[in-house]
Chain A
Amino acid sequence: MHERTLLEQAQALQDGEVSSVELTQFYLNRIQAHDESLNSFVTVTGAQALAQAEAADRARSAGEAGPLTGVPLAHKDIFCTRGVRTTCGSRMLDNFVSPYDATVVERLQAAGMVMLGKTNMDEFAMGSSNENSCYGPVRNPWDPERVPGGSSGGSAAAVAARLAPAATATDTGGSIRQPATFCGVTGLKPTYGRVSRFGMVAYASSLDQGGMLGVSAEDCAALLGTMAGFDSRDSTSVDHPVPDYQKELKQPVDGLRLGLPKEFFDDRLDARIRASVEEAVAAWEGQGAQLVEISLPNLPLATPAYYVIASAECSSNLARYDGVRYGHRCADPEDLEDLFCRSREEGFGAEVRRRIMIGTYALSAGYREAYYDRARRVRQLIRRDFQQAFEKVDAIAAPVSPVLPFRLGEKTQDPVAMYLIDCYTIPVNLAGLPGLSLPARPVDGLPTGVQLIGNYFDEARLLGLGAAWQRETDWHRQVPPGFA
């Protein structure tokens, strides 16, 4: 059963081949059997999952089932879930039980989906390797010595190991797409404003976007249709019609103009990954896509601009964790300052503290103009570069990560080297565009991926290109040895 895609499982439920309770129990068993080594879940909600599955089965027998009713999935532990703790991978929120559901959680639940549990992640979504979780690192199912990528490492590893048919995730600078590539699964970061951020713990508000990790592009399309849409509780969500993504998938590739930005194929890119990306591009060309060389001249400035903006916003977003109303509070504070400083010093891990420090500095008197204001102007330039490119092309193809999944501990001593791993995913967040990461031909048994970048609200086109390729290949269907 676990070798099937989410939509195939939905079909099995519909056909009565399996009940939701059976399917849910099956995944709970797999989590129990395999997750000790992976550490992809922070919380497994067995009893609640089975209760939800029973309700789904009842709805089905009452003839009230929707297309996704009874299908299990996991939520990244950044989405607030009422009654179930939401830790964000942080000691700060180790005891935090949210009094409300995130909009994403609410919508998927309303569609009848069953929550298996909450997945591990880099603390407050800050990281590219999932080594920054207070619950320990997540391991890559393809090689336990290697990282699964981050920050949605738990979601990616869980889907790759087929401990869940799909998982929600978030992407601020690549946190969906990069772990998707490292773990060999499909991941979509939608257009900024496409999916509500309400109830999604904030890292960098102007960049954060919720999305999902799944086995196939079609699975992602099905989930996006449920998750997307305007939410009056999120002022930055956009009131734009939600198309029937699954229907739109069938649009032909023939005649599409596919852009290849030279700045994405530079010398930072591992040659073996380049070969895998080029193979995918050639496949689309074979299906009738027209390849166009393009340039995004401001791209080299994207990574520093991103880290200035993200750190600045995070330094402010994380100021609410002060030990007063919820979350970690230090023992026996001497005075108010002690309460604030010690609760925060103890509650946050090293990388989060580092980014708070950098962001505070970048906003402080005398430096804001040189760092924060300038970075926001660079952001505008990058957005323009993409807008000009989309006058010439319908979608852009690029690598996701310049490197293969690396070993645990390999880059933890050098923050800047770690930041540069996101160089191909970050520009998409700065511009607010949708990006899709698809598994490509592995290198030495390690997954690689190709990235498709679309114009605003053009998720359907990306998913269509992805589905067209996945009809010809089976990289996305491969299950890591040991999890078969």
Chain B
Amino acid sequence: MSEWETVIGLEIHTQLSTRSKLFSAASTQYGAEPNRQACGIDLALPGVLPVVNCEAIRMAVMFGLAVGAKIRTPCVFARKNYFYPDLPRGYQISQYELPIVEGGTVEIELQDGSHRQIELTRAHLEEDAGKLLHEGYAGESAVDLNRAGVPLMEIVSEPQMRSPEEASAYMRTLHGIVTFLGICDGNMEQGSFRCDANISMRQKGEKELGVKVELKNINSFRFVERALRYEQQRQVDALESGKPIIQETRQYDPGTDRTRPMRVKEYADDYRYFPDPDLLPVVVDESIQAELAESLPELPQARKTRLIDQHALSADLATVLVQSRQWADYFEATVEAGASASTAARWITGEVFARMHKESTELAEPPVSADSLAQLLKCIDSGVVSNSAAKEVLAAMWKGEGEAEEIIEVRGLRQVGAGADLDQWVDQAIEAHPDEVEQYRGGKDRLLGFFVGQVMKASGGKADPKQVSEQLRTKLQSD
């Protein structure tokens, strides 16, 4: 492998989270009955015309500004002409020669903590196609055009990634950026964030690019890495046994963990791009750019640094928290509501995440608000409940049984701290075991555990072991 260099470029399709479509006022909501959200424009009825959704333009500009790209103004919509049943006009409205976003850079972080800059070629706006259904239509295909016209932003990178790990890190980084910007819901299962990966191999030191293979429609960080790793090996094997690489489009099958060629078209497509005469050049005023630049939210990288600085979090915890804006926000809201940062970070990335993943039905957000969680975490920090009892409390809160304090009282989970009971149990334990006291005072420190056990037993497990051992230590020494 050492003599080969891997060259990877990614084209990432992000679905912009507008309410209406890119060129029509039909809804973009996911999951409607077939063709209920396909209006005359989406169906390409004769005589209807596209009208640009300003929110999609704003979102693309926000992205451009966030990655330090140039916003091209005016930018131009072009027609990409080809026939397919899911493409009602017989052309897709996209951008070709004059895309809205040009250039830009994103910084990726690798497993070993090192950083790399990946340059973007461009990002452009285009409309999605409809959906073809093949199963269960008696040898026919069925067309659902609800998705036709949904706005997509295609982000094209330079071929600067050198390993599958880098490609996956890049994909994660962009996912973070678009979700933190609030311009994409990032839902990969519904296809809101998916990528095509181009990969080629060349000899180390070689300037020319090798023959590239395009891997289509990958919708998971894990799969992009696996697919590229498989493809990397396949290409190296071929090259080393003297077989040429065929320029083609392949598909990754997660089941077999292999890639396979997709149907080869009879003849090469010639998309005959030209500026769409139904639409005019789009100008983004300086003032709008300035306004959007002003309102840009904090991006994952900056947020992570701030979480580390402001809340004294470890880099690992901060990394986990900024994997989505939702969790970073949840964390900060919990701290804002009074929880200590370290307990909040530990509990959110531990218990809360575990519960979120355990749920069989997908939860958009945790059923316990940041405020409520903070109340529970405060109880932990002040010793009102033990860690293990707190897990039980959270489980009850998750089911909607009430607020932390309520549950603690009802279930009698309050941990016994300093007070009459504890004093009494400690005294009893010392009085009942004079021999052990003697041995302890003679230097057998290990016996402290024995006394703690006695006290815990007497308390029925409610005493805080930390306080118990502190009191025992004081009393055993002083007498």
> Do A and B interact directly, with beta carbons closer than 8 Å?
yes
Q: List residues of chain A with CB under 8 Å of any chain B CB.
A: 79-80, 86, 88, 93, 96, 98-100, 102, 197-202, 204-206, 232-236, 312-313, 315-316, 318-320, 322, 324-326, 336, 340, 360, 363-365, 368, 372
Q: Which of B79, B91, B270, B278 contacts A236 (CB 8 A)?
A: B278
Is B280 within 8 A of A236, CB to CB?
yes
Q: Which of B43, B50, B270 lies in contact with A325, CB distance below 8 A?
A: B43
* B297 contacts partner chain A, Cβ-Cβ < 8 Å: no
**Complex contact A319–B49 (CB within 8 A):** no
> Across the interface, which residues of A come within 8 angstroms of B52, CB to CB?
235
A340–B44 CA distance with the chains assembled, in angstroms: 16
Decide yes or no: A340 and B280 within 8 Å by CB, A88-B46, A202-B46 being known contacts. Answer: no
- Whether A320 contacts B274 in the complex (CB less than 8 A), given A199-B47, A325-B43, comes out as no
A207 CB, min distance to chain B CBs, angstroms: 8
Contact A316 B272 (CB under 8 A): yes
Contacts of A316 in B (CB 8 A): 79, 81, 90-91, 272, 274
B45 touches A326 (CB 8 A): yes
Q: Told that A363-B272, A372-B274 touch, could you supply 6 new A-B pairs with CB distance under 8 A? A: A99-B40, A206-B277, A235-B52, A322-B90, A326-B45, A363-B81
Kindly list chain B residues whose C-beta atoms are within 8 Å of the C-beta of A202: 46-47, 278
- Chain B: which residue is nearest A362 at the CB level? B272
- The answer to whether B447 has its CB under 8 Å from any CB of chain A is no
Q: Contact string, B55-93, partner A, CB cutoff 8 A, digits 1/0? A: 000000000000000000000000101010100111100
Q: Of A201, A322, A365, which is within 8 A of B47 by CB?
A: A201
Residues from chain B with Cβ under 8 Å of A206 in the complex: 277
- Judged by a CB distance under 8 angstroms, whether B143 is at the interface is yes
Interface SS majority for chain B? loop
- Min distance, Cβ A7 to any Cβ of chain B, angstroms: 29
> Does B51 belong to the interface (CB within 8 Å)?
yes
B477 CB, nearest partner CB in chain A, Å: 85
Is B211 interfacial (CB-CB < 8 Å)? no
**What residues of B have a CB within 8 angstroms of the CB of A199 in the complex?**
47-48
8 closest A-B pairs (Cβ-Cβ)? Answer: A319-B90, A363-B272, A206-B277, A205-B277, A320-B44, A201-B46, A199-B47, A201-B47
- With a cutoff of 8 Å between Cβ atoms, the chain B residues found around residue A197 in the complex are 47, 49
Interface size bracket, B side: 20 to 34
- The answer on a CB contact under 8 Å between A198 and B47 is yes
Judge whether A319 and B89 touch: CB under 8 Å: yes
A322 touches B83 (CB 8 A): yes
- Which partner residue on chain B sits nearest A202 by CB separation? B47
Residues of chain A lying within 8 A (CB to CB) of residue B90: 316, 318-320, 322
Residue contact A325 to B49, C-beta cutoff 8 Å: no
Q: Are A93 and B46 in contact (CB-based, < 8 A)? A: yes
Does B279 sit at the interface, judged by CB under 8 A? Answer: yes
Contacts of A313 in B (CB 8 A): 277
Interface CB pairs A-B, < 8 A, 5: A102-B47, A234-B49, A236-B279, A315-B272, A336-B85
Set of chain B residues within 8 Å of A325, measured between Cβ atoms: 43-45, 88
- The contact of A235 among B46, B79, B278, by CB within 8 Å, is B278
- State the CA gap A93–B277 with chains docked (Å): 23
- Chain A neighbourhood of B46, CB < 8 A: 80, 86, 88, 93, 96, 98, 201-202, 320, 326
Query: Once the chains bind, are A364 and B270 in contact (CB under 8 Å)?
Result: yes
Q: How far is the CA of A339 from the CA of B118 in the complex (A)?
A: 45
Which residues from A are CB-within-8-Å of B40? 99-100
What's the least CB distance linking B145 to chain A, in Å? 8
A318→B81 CA distance, assembly (Å): 11
Residues of A within 8 A of B274 (CB): 312, 316, 363, 368, 372
Distance in Å from the Cβ of B39 to the closest Cβ of chain A? 10
CB of A384, distance to nearest CB on chain B (Å): 19
A48 to chain B, nearest CB (A): 20
How far apart sit A123 and B277, CA to CA, in the bound complex (Å)? 21
CB A251 to nearest CB in B, in angstroms, measures 32
Shortest Cβ distance from residue B86 to the other chain A in the assembled complex, whole angstroms: 10
For the complex formed, measure the closest distance between the CB of A99 and the CB atoms of chain B, giving whole angstroms: 7
Q: Is B51 in contact with A233, judged by CB distance below 8 angstroms? A: yes
A200, B46: Cα distance in complex, Å:
8
Given A198-B48, A199-B47, answer yes or no on A320-B277 (Cβ-Cβ < 8 Å): no
In the complex, the chain B residue whose C-beta lies closest to that of A193 is B280
Interface string of B314-339 (1 = CB under 8 A from A): 00000000000000000000000000
A448 CB to nearest B CB, Å: 33
Q: How far is the CB of A219 from chain B (nearest CB, A)?
A: 25
**1/0 contact trace for B81-115 toward A, CB 8 Å?**
10101001111000000000000000000000000
Q: Report the separation of the CA atoms of residues A319 and B89 in the bound assembly, to the nearest whole angstrom.
A: 6
Looking across the interface, which residue of chain A has its beta carbon closest to that of B44? Answer: A320
Contacts of A205 in B (CB 8 A): 277-278
B51 proximity list for chain A (CB < 8 A): 232-233, 235
How far in angstroms is the closest Cβ of chain B from A318? 8
Among the listed A79, A232, A319, A324, which residue makes an inter-chain contact with B81, where contact means beta carbons less than 8 Å apart? A319
Cβ-closest chain A residue relative to B51 = A235
Residues 421-445 of B at the A interface (beta carbon under 8 Å): none
Partner of A200, one of B47, B91, B143, B280: B47
For the complex formed, measure the closest distance between the CB of B130 and the CB atoms of chain A, giving whole angstroms: 10
Closest to B89 in A: A320
Please indicate the chain A residues that have their CB under 8 angstroms from the CB of B280 in the complex. 235-236
Min CB gap A205→B, angstroms: 4
Q: Mark B263-281, 1 if CB is under 8 A from A, else 0.
A: 0000000101010011110
Contacts of A324 in B (CB 8 A): 85, 88, 143
Cα of A79 to Cα of B48 in the assembled complex, Å: 11
Instruction: Digitize B30-45: 1 where CB-to-A-CB distance is under 8 Å, 0 elsewhere.
Output: 0000000000100111
Tell me whether B50 and A340 are in contact (CB under 8 A). no
Beta-carbon nearest neighbor of A359 in chain B = B272
- Are the CB atoms of B278 and A99 closer together than 8 Å? no
* A216 and B44 alpha carbons, distance in the complex (Å): 37
Q: If the complex has contacts A324-B85, A325-B43, A336-B85, are A233 and B49 also in contact, measured as CB distance less than 8 A?
A: yes
A200 to B47, alpha carbons, bound, how many Å?
5
Cα distance, A352 to B48, chains bound together (Å): 20
Q: Which residues of chain B have C-beta atoms less than 8 A from A236's C-beta?
A: 49, 277-280
Nearest CB in chain A: distance from B75 CB, A:
14
Tell me, in angstroms, the Cα distance from A325 to B52 when the chains sit together. 23
Collect the chain B residues with CB atoms within 8 Å of residue A99's CB.
40, 45
Which partner residue on chain A sits nearest B90 by CB separation? A319
Cα A235 to Cα B45 with chains together (Å):
17
Residues of the A chain whose Cβ atoms lie less than 8 Å from the Cβ of B88: 320, 324-325
> Can you name the residue of chain A whose Cβ is closest to the Cβ of B80?
A316
Q: Interface centre among B40, B270, B277, by most A CB within 10 Å? A: B277
B residues in contact with A368, CB < 8 Å: 272, 274
Residue numbers in A under 8 Å from B81 (CB-CB): 315-316, 319, 363
Say how far A311's CB is from chain B's closest CB, in angstroms: 12
A320 to B40, CA, bound (A): 12
Q: Chain B residues near A318 (CB, 8 Å)?
A: 90
